[in-house]
Amino acid sequence: MNLIRRTLSSLAVAALVVGTAVAQQTPPKPAPVPRPVTPEAPVPPPPDVDGKSWVLMDYATGQVLASKDPDLRVEPASITKVMTDYVVSAEIANGKIHMTDPVTISENAWRSGGAATDGSTSFLKLNSQVPLKDLLYGMIIQSGNDAAIALAEHTAGSESAFANLMNAYAKQIGMTNSNFENASGYPIANHYSTARDIAILSRALIHDFPEDYAISAVKDFEWNGIKQHNRNLLLWRDNIVDGIKTGHTAAAGYCLAASAKQGDSRMIAIVMGASNEKARADAALALMNYGFRFYETHKLYDSDKPLATPKLWKGQSNQLPLGVADNVLVTVKRGDYDKLKATLDIPATLVAPFTKGQQVGTLRLTLDGQPVQNVPLIALADAPQAGFFGRLWDSIMLWFHSDKKPDETK
């Protein structure tokens, strides 16, 4: 398929259609936020932190800003409970279960996740009934294995059935290198994830279920007369940190999924396999501070505003407005904003009909020639076919156009 490639400058888009150049103004690329003038200096490499693998992700765009072995398969330990939290929150949102549901603590949950296993526990009593909300708090804040198993059994009937749900949701949100066999993170064969996948999961939880995510910022929770503190040390060290979850086993090492918000920016740091509890906290905080200090997020284009209106053939209208479904955000190193380049790839010939939201082309963002982001370019309105004579006339005109080469812009 022939494409017309159009470059979006900071001022306008040169919109060329087959055979005719049409100048079209578009929203200008916004100027960077004014900042105090400081001497220009190259952005340093990310800190060398303790951890078998780690990822620093920008929340707004999902871009990985820095990483070490991000796709290394590792045991996620209790960070598994972030996936459990996501599934439970999704099933609540779908009306399948409810925060007020009474959940019976089975012998399996009591025995497999209780204090006798020498793991994290909420000290739930056998055969007691606990409100689902309290189990969610116990799992997220206290890292209760018994709470995680009880939630899984209530949600899906059994922990193995719940694991199937975990894997289905993981695939749905874009986790491509993970497999879950249980709800608690108890070590078992074929139960694994990666730092990148945990970052994707963390971003999805924050975005999709912000109220449930907020539980991870609570510093302590009491159940059965026993008060336990959140194991995320960063909640006490920096007030911009508001989550997410710790994990530890002998095989997995010390793991931490952390997130912090500073102004309009949010960073997510995933550290897997650190040497001790303090090291994982130090590593996550150093990574997030690096992101806040040396990167900035910009909104380039607004949703539902035309970036181009190319010629439309055989339609009731003779133009098709094209734009993006969501605001286009990009995160770059400080000082690199002016190096961004945007181009539109649009088929050379557009023939009605089109429906609103249908992908027609692609908005491509590059920095120094390297791809940054590809965004679907969609029809912003329905474009039904013209009547018989309109289609006939355009068919004749297209026949004359077929021998002409589409114009291109540089």
Catalytic residues: 78, 81, 143
> Which amino acid type is present at position 380?
L
DSSP sequence for 320-386: --EE-SS-EEEEEETT-GGGEEEEEEEES--BS-B-TT-EEEEEEEEETTEEEEEEEEEESS-B-B-
Residue 379's DSSP bridge partners are 322
Task: Tell me the backbone φ, ψ of residue 407, rounded to 5 degrees.
Answer: -70, 155
Q: Is 52 helix (H, G, I), strand (E, B) or coil?
A: coil
Spatial distance between the Cα atoms of 331 and 266, rounded to a whole number of angstroms: 11
Q: Is 303 helix (H, G, I), strand (E, B) or coil?
A: coil
Q: Which pairing describes strands 241-249 and 226-229: parallel, antiparallel, or unpaired?
A: unpaired
Residue 81 CB partners (closer than 8 Å, separation 6+): 139, 140, 143, 148, 183, 184, 185, 245, 247
Q: Is 287 helix (H, G, I), strand (E, B) or coil?
A: helix
Assess contact for 169 and 200: CB atoms under 8 A: no
Distances (CA, A) of 36 to 2, 26, 40, 231: 47, 29, 12, 38
Lookup: tokens for 11? 């001022």
Closest CA to 82 of 157, 154, 227, 180: 180
DSSP sequence for 191-253: -BB-HHHHHHHHHHHHHH-HHHHGGGG--EEEETTEEEE-S-THHHH-TTEEEEEEEEETTTE
Assess contact for 301 and 27: CB atoms under 8 A: yes
Phi-psi map region of 336: left, alpha, beta (phi>0 left; psi -120 to 50 alpha) = alpha
Residue 378 neighbours by CB distance under 10 Å: 21
Q: Is 115 helix (H, G, I), strand (E, B) or coil?
A: helix
Spatial distance between the Cα atoms of 234 and 271, rounded to a whole number of angstroms: 13
